Amino acid sequence: MFKEVDFEDIRPYHDHEINPALNRIISEPLFDKILDFLFQDQDKDGIRSMLAETHTAHDFQVRFMHPLVSSIVKKTSAGLTYDGFNQLAPGSPYLFVANHRDIVLDSAILQVLLLDNGHLTSEITFGSNLMINQFIIDLGKVNRMFKVSRGGNKMELLKNAQRLSAYMRYTITRKKVSAWIAQRSGRTKDGNDRTEPGLLKMFNMNAGGDFHQAFAELNIVPLVISYEYEPCCAFKIKELIAAREGPYQKKPEEDLLSIITGITRPKGRIHMSVGRPVNLLLKELSPDDTMNNKINRLTELIDAEIYRHYKLWPSNYIACDMVSNSVAYRNHYTDDEKRLFLQHMENEIRGLAGERKIQEELFLKIYANPLINLNRLQ
């Protein structure tokens, strides 16, 4: 049985650690640049003073993160919509298993919508690869992020997975706090929002007892975000092209550049949807089936929820028609929308290394695959 002390190096900050961390944050020159971009017309000294007197993670999220993320959405998108939050019971903890398109905004937007709909915020996974300096670590941990260790040998990977599994179960069942985790390691690069079966196997570590009960107590809910235009599309194409030559090794600064790009670039419209709770899907699993078959079937059911709840934009229909060289979805977009989409494609792939045909193919698949996956369910 794990105890709180076993999670010291992965947990978010406790409330007594929040104020010292915030004072470190506001003393960093980089914080001034963040304020200059996101709070141009506001009293920056007032924001610093407010943070210097903030002592809990909840107050930090309500006073700073909520207006910050709302400002980002207002400045860089054509609007945010959502559905399904009325399915969530106030006060109940959930494990949100989410498709992952942007490093920061996917989970940050969830926190805004949870607060706006009368719920407490969740804890959030925080890849160790992103913890590049104390400033970033402080920003993550005051925002209720917990560390997911990346890399290591087989024994280290197993140990880290067991502890992460235990921490998430502890968070949901003992602390009664919700948590957000991506359905796979890293962002979706090609538009295929597919859950890794290994993720569900990790959830089941240290559970003991009945399979259905072990998953039921986690209260898993599929969560889906869709951007009309992906702000980091060019980076994803670059990685996909490089991966054709062999395993792609990111440079240390690439994740930070992706974070900045995801925050600052235009995204068109954004939609977030809460799918059916997994507890309603568990009844479709045979209790007599093998463990692997149960895991694979549950993975398929979660994926189906994500495909069905993905908000399709004109960009998705245009890309699907272009990939299939057809006009099957011509009634879902206008000539102007297609012209803007083609201009967006040109802007994204301009300057990328590699063959133009491959660049276009990868770009279109990012937008076409959500619709292709939905069609496969029918």
CB 371 within 8 A of CB 333: no
Q: For residue 359, with 0-12 CB atoms within 10 Å meaning exposed, 13-18 middle and 19 or more buried, which class applies?
A: buried
Which structure tokens are listed for 319?
A: 């890309």
Number of other CB atoms surrounding residue 66 within 10 Å: 18
The answer to whether the Cα torsion of 180, 182, 186, 190 is positive or negative is: negative
Query: What pLDDT digit, counting tens, does each position of 120-163 carry?
Result: 999 999 988 888 899 999 999 999 999 999 888 989 999 999 99
> What value does the mean pLDDT take over residues 278-296?
92
pLDDT above 70 coverage of the chain, percent: 98
pLDDT above 90 coverage of the chain, percent: 79
- Does residue 168 or residue 3 have the better pLDDT? 168
| Phi/psi-derived region of residue 311, left when phi > 0, alpha when psi is between -120 and 50, beta in every other case | beta
At a CB cut-off of 8 Å and minimum separation 6, what does 353 contact?
238, 241
Which structure tokens are listed for 23?
A: 């004072």
Q: In the structure, what pLDDT confidence band is assigned to residue 252 with cuts at 50, 70 and 90?
A: low
Residues in the chain: 378
| pLDDT reported for residue 3 | 66
> What value does the mean pLDDT take over residues 102-123?
97
Instruction: Give the residue from 237, 188, 258 showing the smallest Cα distance to 351.
Output: 237
At a CB cut-off of 8 Å and minimum separation 6, what does 236 contact?
187, 189, 190, 230, 362, 366
β pairing state of 123-127 and 220-227: unpaired
Rounded CA separation 242/325 (Å):
27
What mean pLDDT, rounded, does the chain reach? 93
> What value does the mean pLDDT take over residues 279-283?
92
Q: In the structure, what pLDDT confidence band is assigned to residue 7 with cuts at 50, 70 and 90?
A: very high
> What value does the mean pLDDT take over residues 13-29?
97
Rounded CA separation 138/147 (Å):
12
The secondary structure of residue 311, as a DSSP letter, is P
> What value does the mean pLDDT take over residues 16-44?
90
Q: Beta partners for 270?
A: 80, 227
